[in-house]
Amino acid sequence: MKTIDGGVTAAKGFKASSCQAEIKYKDRTDMAFVYSELPCVCAGTFTSNVVKAACVMWDKKIVESGGPMQAVVINSGIANACTGKEGFDACEATARAAEGALGIPYTSVAVASTGVIGMQLPVDKLVAGVEKMSTTLDGSLLAGTEASKAIMTTDTVNKEIAVSFEIAGKTVTLGGMSKGSGMIHPNMCTMLAFLTTDIAIDKTLLQEAVSDVVKDTFNMITVDGDTSTNDTLLCMANGLAENEKITEKNEDYITFKNALMFVCEYLAKKMAADGEGASKLFEAKVIGAKDKQDARVLSRAIVGSNLSKAAIYGCDANFGRFLCAMGYSGADFDQNDVELYFESAAGRLKVFDKGTPIVFDEDKALEIMKEDTVTVFVNMNEGEAMATAWGCDLTYDYVKINADYRS
C-alpha cells in the first residue's frame, strides 16, 4: 500500500465539484458534490445522538435499504438539525435537484450538512448550488481538494488522503476527506467523512469493514466531548478497479481493511490536531488493559478531560489529572498497578509507578510537553489489551470560537 496524491477523486470513476452557494458564508465555497460514474455499494456510520439531523436520517435510510448510492451533496454553514419537517423537505429537494440535473434516482443521492443547529436551510440556494455543481463535475485531483475545502467550518486546514494497493494484480484506490473541528466526540463516526473507492466488494463486507475500523479511528477522537447531531461517514465503492469482487473475509478483504484503517486513522488524527482552538495533538496510549473496551474507555477519558487538556496546553506534567480522568472513566482498576509516562519527540519520562508518584526532572518534563504532539502512555499491568485515543489541548481560542460561533 502506498499513499498517493488526492482525496475523493483519486479512485477511478469519481468526480467532484464545489461552489459558492452563500448558504451562510459569503466569501468562500460552501457546497460540495461527490459523484460516481457508476452506482456504488455503500456503507455508513452515523451519530448515536438521539437528536439526529434531517440529513442523517435521510442517509441512514439509503444505507440501510441497501443502496445503491451514486452521489453525495454536502453544505457547510447550517447543520439542518432540529429543523422539523421543513428540514426533511430540504433533503429531498436537494436530492431531487441532483436527479433532475444528472438523471440519477434521487434515492441514490446522499446529503450531509454541518454548521449551526436549529436554523432552516435556504432551499432555493441549495437547489441552485446543485444545478451549478452538476455542470462542473470533474475527475481531477484538484476538484477533490476543492471539495474538501468547501465542507470546512471552523477547520483551519482541509483534510484529505488517498492510498493505492494491489489486489490480485489489479490496482485499487481508496480516497477520503473529512472535516471537524468542534462538537467532536464521535459516537459512531466523525462529524463528516466521505470515502470513495473503486474496489469491487460485497455491500455487507464493506459495511462490516467500515464499522470495525471506525471503532479504532474516528470513535477514538474527541475535541470537546460534545457528540454532534450530524456525525456521518459514508463510503462508496463503484467496482471500477475490476478486481475479483470480494465476497468473503479472505486476504483481499484484509488488504482492503488495512488500507481503510490507514486512511481513517490519518483523517481522524488530522481532525483531532485541528480541533477548535487546538495548539497540539494530544494522544493517549493505554496498554496492558483487561480488555479492549477498558483500553478504549480509559484512553478516551484521558484525552477527554478538560483538566488534562488544559494541562497539555500549559505544558504542565500534572499527571494526577490524567489518573483522575482514568478513575472516573467507568473502567475498574487498582491505581497500585498503574504506570504512567509522558512522551514526545523530545523523549520519555516516567512519572507514576504503581501507586507512587516519582520525583521527576521538571525541565525534562517541560521539554517533552512543549512538542506539537504529546503522548500520555499508560501501562495498566492487568492484561493484554491496548487502545489509542486522540484529542487536543484546551485553549483560550476554543472558548473564543465557541462563545461567538453562531453570530
Q: Residue 84: exposed, middle, or buried by beta-carbon count in 10 A (0-12, 13-18, 19+)?
A: exposed
Helices and strands (H and E) in the chain: how many: 11, 15
**Annotated binding-site residue? 190:** yes
**Annotated binding-site residue? 179:** yes
CA distance 319 to 326: 11
* Residue 359 three-state SS: coil
Shortest distance, position 394 Cβ to a copy of itself, whole Å? 6
Shortest distance, position 20 Cβ to a copy of itself, whole Å? 24
* Residue 41 three-state SS: strand
CA distance 165 to 154: 33
**Nearest residue to 191 (alpha-carbon basis) of 289, 266, 267:** 267
CA distance 310 to 327: 18
The dihedral sign for the CA sequence 1, 202, 12, 93: negative
**Nearest residue to 242 (alpha-carbon basis) of 201, 291, 289, 188:** 201
The dihedral sign for the CA sequence 210, 211, 217, 219: positive
**Annotated binding-site residue? 211:** no
Place of cell 446522499: 110
Radius of gyration from C-alpha coordinates of the chain: 22
**Annotated binding-site residue? 255:** no
Main-chain dihedrals φ then ψ at residue 370, nearest 5 degrees:
-75, -10
The dihedral sign for the CA sequence 17, 18, 21, 23: positive
Place of cell 463486507: 205
**Annotated binding-site residue? 230:** no
- Interface ranges with a copy of itself (CB under 8 A): 48-52, 79, 81-86, 116-120, 182-183, 185, 187, 224-229, 305-307, 310-311, 313-314, 316, 318-321, 323-329, 331-333, 335-336, 351-352, 355-357, 394-396, 398-407
| Cell numbers placing 250 | 479472505
Shortest distance, position 29 Cβ to a copy of itself, whole Å? 23
Shortest distance, position 292 Cβ to a copy of itself, whole Å? 19
Place of cell 492487568: 382
Q: Which is nearer to a copy of itself, 47 or 196 (CB)?
A: 47
Q: Are strands 281-289 and 373-379 parallel, antiparallel or unpaired?
A: parallel
Q: Residue 32: exposed, middle, or buried by beta-carbon count in 10 A (0-12, 13-18, 19+)?
A: buried
As a whole number of angstroms, the longest Cα–Cα distance in the chain is 69
Q: Which is nearer to a copy of itself, 146 or 343 (CB)?
A: 343
Q: What angle do CA 5, 6, 7 make, to 5 degrees?
A: 140
Catalytic residue (one of 29, 145, 173, 190): 190
Our answer to whether residue 190 is catalytic in this structure is: yes
Q: Which is nearer to a copy of itself, 226 or 361 (CB)?
A: 226
* Residues making up the binding site: 153, 179, 190, 276, 402, 407
* Residues making up the binding site for substrate: 153, 179, 190, 276, 402, 407
The residues annotated as belonging to the active site are 190
